[in-house]
Structure 1
Amino acid sequence: MTDRGSLLAQPLTRPSAGRIAAHLGLLLLGAVVGAAGALVQSAWSPGGLLLALAGAAGAFLGGSRATGGRGGALAPAAGWMIAVVLLTTSRPEGDFVFAAGVGSYLFLLGGMAVAVICATLGAVRQPGGPAVRLGK
């Protein structure tokens, strides 16, 4: 019986090509969810905001569960942040996506809070080995 120790004490391994592709796909999914949420959040007064935040939470938590680690929640969160930050800038013509209202700020701050919550609650890979409870 060998004790492998904590997951943090394990040596780093090179990620597989499938894992990299999954995280890139989740990054793109997060960008799409962020862009769609930016358009939907102001469409219907409270419902659009809740729908946009629920979509973001689904992408973040689903990515975490699909990959089996917190990186699966961080990849769509990064894509979401990139899309939302790019959409906050105004164009030379004066067009913009986000109005200066409470709903826009709730979407921005709420999306960041949802990303942190989903990354915290996300699945963490457990090290293989014997049971950690004493007496087992």
Structure 2
Amino acid sequence: MSSRQRQRASSRAPRTNAPPRSPAPTGLAAPPNPRRIAAYLGLAVLGAAVAIAGTLVQGALFPGGLLLALAASGGLFLGGRLLTRTQLGALAPAVGWFIAVVVLLSGRPEGDYVFGDEIGLTLFMLGGMAVAVMCATMSRLSNSATDTGRTGA
């Protein structure tokens, strides 16, 4: 091997005196993303709106309205989880939902509640919290809908 070929071979070799790169921080150590924060706040406001609507529907049409309100809450929690692909995506609307329900539970000084009866109140509160916990603690969803089945693509 000539000296010229050795120079070419050595110029293609990786630099060994370069400082090692530190990996980019992930999780809680990553810098905050303004778009993600705005999405979580929007989901929390939407959770409060669904709680107010669910409160009115379940109080007006007891058996069917309760199921409709719980289905809407579950759809919002699951949609937040799928949209953000994080557990916090399900918890953000759940926090907004819970705060709105607690505020509506406080009632008026006369003793009136927004909720119709005690059974509906209990089922709506416990059912909504159970649905929120189920959506937040689901296992990671697979990407089977977007998977093409090809390897290396």
> TM bucket by the smaller chain?
0.7 to 0.9
Matching of residues 72-111 of structure 1 within 5 Å: 72-111=89-128
- Once the 2 structures are TM-superposed, how far is the Cα of residue 17 of structure 1 from its aligned partner? 0.5
User: 2:59–2:117: 8 Å Cα contact kept in structure 1?
Assistant: no
CA distance in 2, matches of 1:93, 1:108: 22
Q: Which amino acid aligns with 1:29?
A: L
- Cα deviations across residues 21-78 of structure 1 (Å, max 9, x unaligned)? 0000000000001111111112113110000000000110000100110010000000
Q: Which residue of 1 aligns with 2:21?
A: none
Gapped regions of structure 2 (runs ≥ 5): 1-25, 142-153
Identity of aligned residues (%): 58
User: 1:64–1:123: 8 Å Cα contact kept in structure 2?
Assistant: no
CA distance in 2, matches of 1:11, 1:74: 16
2:79 aligned counterpart, secondary structure: helix
User: 1:65–1:122: 8 Å Cα contact kept in structure 2?
Assistant: no
Q: Across the two proteins, how many residue pairs are aligned to each other?
A: 117
- Cα deviations across residues 76-95 of structure 1 (Å, max 9, x unaligned)? 00000000000001212443
2:45 aligned counterpart, secondary structure: helix
Q: What is the RMSD computed on CA atoms of the aligned residues?
A: 2.1
- Once the 2 structures are TM-superposed, how far is the Cα of residue 11 of structure 1 from its aligned partner? 6.5
User: 1:74–1:119: 8 Å Cα contact kept in structure 2?
Assistant: yes
CA distance in 1, matches of 2:27, 2:48: 32
| Among 74, 78, 85, the residue aligned to 1:61 | 78
Compare CA radii of gyration and give the structure with the larger one.
Answer: 2
Q: Which residue of 1 aligns with 2:40?
A: 23
CA distance in 2, matches of 1:121, 1:42: 30
- The worse-fitting range, judged by mean Cα deviation, of 80-89 and 101-110 is 101-110
CA distance in 2, matches of 1:13, 1:98: 42
Q: Which residue of 2 aligns with 1:43?
A: 60
Cα distance change, pair 60–11 in 1 and its aligned pair in 2 (3 A): closer
2:137 aligned counterpart, secondary structure: helix
Cα distance change, pair 16–27 in 1 and its aligned pair in 2 (3 A): same
| Among 129, 142, 148, the residue aligned to 1:112 | 129
User: 2:59–2:114: 8 Å Cα contact kept in structure 1?
Assistant: no
Q: Which amino acid aligns with 1:109?
A: L
Q: Which residue of 1 aligns with 2:8?
A: none
Gapped regions of structure 1 (runs ≥ 5): 1-8, 125-136
Q: Which residue of 2 aligns with 1:129?
A: none
